[in-house]
Amino acid sequence: MSTIFLYNFSGLALFAIGLHGLIRSSHLLRKILAANLMSSGIFLIMIVGAYGPDQALIDPVPHAMVLTGILVSISTTAVALVLVCLVQETTNRALLLQKRKREQRGRTDA
């Protein structure tokens, strides 16, 4: 039983680290990495959930969900990276800090 608990706990830890990274870090790439960490944490928890008490009976549904989840997070990361390049192109620094915003103030129009 302790391994099940260990896996769950590590999944939770991954989620927490990812959450902290996403919120606190200021560099865009760090945020994207943190997001991936969070989703992998969740996948770990889901997979662990698939194993019933007696090792024999494995529930296939979480596996299907995790597969779809991985697909989704890949495509999200792809879009995120493209956006980082676009932001980089216009603001020549991939930071999403508030002071970055203040410099933009002058040229914002719809």
| C-alpha pair distances (Å), 71 with each of 1, 74, 96 | 30, 5, 27
Shortest CB 92 distance to other proteins, Å: 11
Contact 25, 96 (CB under 8 A): no
Report the C-alpha gap between 73 and 93 in whole angstroms. 25
Footprint on this chain of other proteins (rule: CB under 8 A): 15, 18-19, 22-24, 28, 31, 35, 38-39, 42, 45-46, 49, 59-62, 64-65, 68-69, 72, 75-76, 79-80, 83-84, 86-87, 90-91, 96, 98, 100-101, 104, 107-110
Shortest CB 39 distance to other proteins, Å: 6
